[in-house]
Structure 1
Amino acid sequence: MSSVNFTGQNVEEFTITGFDHLSHQKLLGFLIFITYFLVLLGSGTNICIIVSDRRLHTPMYLLVCNLAVVDIMFTTSSSTTMISVLLAEVKTISYYSCISRMYIYHLGDIEECLALSLMALDRTIAISTPLRYHSILTNPRLLLLIIATWLIGLGVMGLVAAQADSLPYCQPIIRYVFCDYPSMVRAACVNPEPYWMLPTILGLWLIGAQLTFILLSYVNLIYTVLRLPNNESRVQACHTQVRWPTGDILLQIHHGGCRYNSGGGLRASTTRWVFSPTDITRLLKRDSWIQSVVRPDYLRARRNH
């Protein structure tokens, strides 16, 4: 292990040791690198398509673009550290780099949940008041909501980062695969139990309030579909919307609080390639689904043309 300068209160560098017990580290590093590249490619493609096509400058696609930005930020904060350790064999990371990556990593957690909640809000408005959808959820209003979610995330993570920065660190070792809040708390010379309170509250807020809101949006969706006058409209509505519930709920459970656990060692960490370029095209069906809720003959008329 490389020598580092530290005292009982300050550490200049941390050493990442979460991969030390694993064999075939180069292979694992290569797989992480490929996954990271695919995330950048998929999310970057989504952003480029949405930004370059003015027809996609609508609330739904602005939300997709926001989610793609979050994915890039979130994945970069963790993947670059793991790639550096596994492929470049650079196991040390400076204190301020570690705490900044922790900040970005958990900010991505929060923003992912809030982005999915905004998507649920968009879906609820589209289902409940389809004729007024474009007048209620305009681009300026949605941008204000997106900015508000980022301000909330930045403020909340400011509290978490300040708490981590105030800890006295006795050992320059991160017993995990990258810098996150639990690993930094365990590196401090304090009893870690009191320091789980803040992230536990945040986790309950994310997985409780946000997941509940998303589930309610799907209850509203199911209720609306059941009220459609014929089976053709119901099939079209289900076909267009069925991909959303599983992705929303699984991502919400994954991000809503499981990050803030007190366990050590190598925990599962997945990256999300939520939308491929083909999904962007498929999402165009959404406007047709809204119309089919209002006028079931809409789709039939489109086919005749």
Structure 2
Amino acid sequence: MDCNFSIYARSLTLESLDLPSSNIFPAFIFGTLTYCFILLFNMTVLLTIALNRKLHKPMYVLLFNLPLNDMMGASAFFPQLVSSILSQNRSITYSACFVQALLIHLYGAGTFLTLTAMAYDRYVAICCPLKYNTMMSPNNLLKIIIIMWILNVTLIGILLAMNYRKEICSTQIVDIFCNNPSLMKLVCEDTRVNNYYGLFVMTFFDGLSLLIVVFTYVQILITVVVKRQSDARSKAIQTCGTHLIVFLCFEFNTFFAFIAHRFETASPSLRRALGASAVIFPPILNPLIYGLKTKEIRENFILFFHKVFPQKQKNKLVGVKH
């Protein structure tokens, strides 16, 4: 396009949701309730881990980062979405779009890093049990968490900063929410460097996480099957199954969303659906999967619930007696 626009406070237009007028209010209610449930589920996991000393172990301290990531991603996506549904206004300022894209990419990369660190923790616990307390000491655990967040903020910050230009040649965001690929398509200048760096960041977070998780689970499988350690087998079944389900769901979701953005021939509807699903489903499913499948979290949540609402339980019993 020939026209160049200043990006400062410039209004952009997000992809239309194509909602019939009869579906606007139900969609608004559904989106609002979904966001509220995400906050409730993830806050429950956070409080359960934070308020129970029995869960102050490396595995659960690392898990603590997952609901934080999920709430960050959901908070970047849902408020803007439901407000635009109600107002039927799909415009957003460039600055707000940039912040939304930054938070969503921090969410995605942070999830990969957290799940990778959790895979390493399970590898040490099952394959090197005698060294576990040393390798996963509080100091080493703190270093792992700090490195995770520094890598996340640095690599994603640079990725988005490369697109924050003074001039853009379009105001149409080709997605229902802001992300790096859609922002890159607005820039007038040559974006090959941005594209190469984006591929590097995607390979680093997605590919490296996959390699580490595959390596750790192969080692765990060898320890469990080949060495026939019954204790290790029991521990692996209890702690690794949940992690693997969460990781594979997120891995496949983000991979297909990435592929859909890279190929121009991909259906726009499919691209939008895959992109939105990566932000919607993990924050809902992760706390449910960990809450229902992880025995220690489930038991401690029940204890926490009884501690928070003891009087209600007593009142019910009194009512039954009368």
Whichever residue aligns with residue 70 of structure 1, its letter is N
1:30 aligns with 2:60: no
**Cα distance per residue 1:3-43 (max 9 Å; x no partner):** xxx95343523343312434334433433322222211111
| Alignment match, 1:174 | 173
Aligned residue among 287, 305, 311 for 1:275: 287
- Residues 220-240 of structure 1 show CA distances to partners (whole Å, capped at 9, x for unaligned) of 121121145487974674355
Counterpart amino acid of residue 128 in structure 1: C
1:79-121 deviation per Cα after TM superposition (whole angstroms, max 9, x unaligned): 2221121124342222212111111111111111111110011
Number of aligned pairs? 280
Structure-2 change in CA distance of 1:78 and 1:279 (3 Å) = same
- The 1:91/1:226 distance shift into structure 2, 3 A limit, reads same
In structure 1, the residue matched to 2:187 is 188
Residue matched to 1:156? 155
Q: Once superposed, what is the RMSD of the aligned Cα atoms? A: 2.8
C-alpha distance in 2, partners of 1:123/1:112?
17
TM-score (norm 1): 0.80
Q: State the TM-score, normalizing by the size of structure 2.
A: 0.77
Alignment of 1:1-305 (within 5 A): 8-23=5-20, 24-166=23-165, 168-190=167-189, 195-227=194-226, 229=228, 234=233, 237-238=236-237, 240-255=239-254, 258-259=257-258, 261-262=261-262, 266-268=272-274, 269-270=276-277, 271=280, 272=282, 273=284, 274-276=286-288, 278-279=291-292, 282-283=295-296
| Cα distance, 1:114–1:233 mapped onto 2, change above 3 Å | closer
CA distance in 1, matches of 2:238, 2:52: 25
Aligned partner of residue 12 in structure 1, secondary structure:
coil
Moved more, 133-142 or 8-17: 8-17
Partners of 2:133 and 2:226 in 1: how far apart?
23
More helix by share: 2
**Aligned pair in 2 of structure 1 residues 240, 95: CA closer, same or farther (>3 Å)?**
closer
1:221 and 1:100 mapped to 2: Cα distance? 40
Once residues 106 and 255 of structure 2 are traced to their aligned partners in structure 1, the CA distance between those partners, rounded to angstroms, is 12
Q: Tell me the SS of whatever aligns to 1:174.
A: coil
In the alignment, what sits opposite 2:303?
Answer: none
- Contact preservation (8 Å) 1:11, 1:172: no
Contact 2:291 2:297 (8 Å CA) reproduced: no
Q: Is the CA contact (8 Å cut-off) linking 1:14 and 1:174 kept in structure 2?
A: no
Which residue number corresponds to residue 304 of structure 2? Answer: none
Pick which of 202-211 and 276-285 moved more: 276-285
Q: Is the 8 A contact 2:73 2:104 kept in 1?
A: yes
CA change 1:232–1:127 in 2 (3 A) is closer
Shift in alpha-carbon separation, 1:186–1:123, aligned structure 2, 3 A: same
1:281 Cα deviation after fit: 5.3
- What are the Cα deviations for residues 153-193 of structure 1, in whole angstroms up to 9, with x where unaligned? 11112211211102621333323211111111223334656
- Cα deviations across residues 241-271 of structure 1 (Å, max 9, x unaligned)? 3333232122133336844824555232222
Gaps of 5+ in 1: 1-5, 286-305
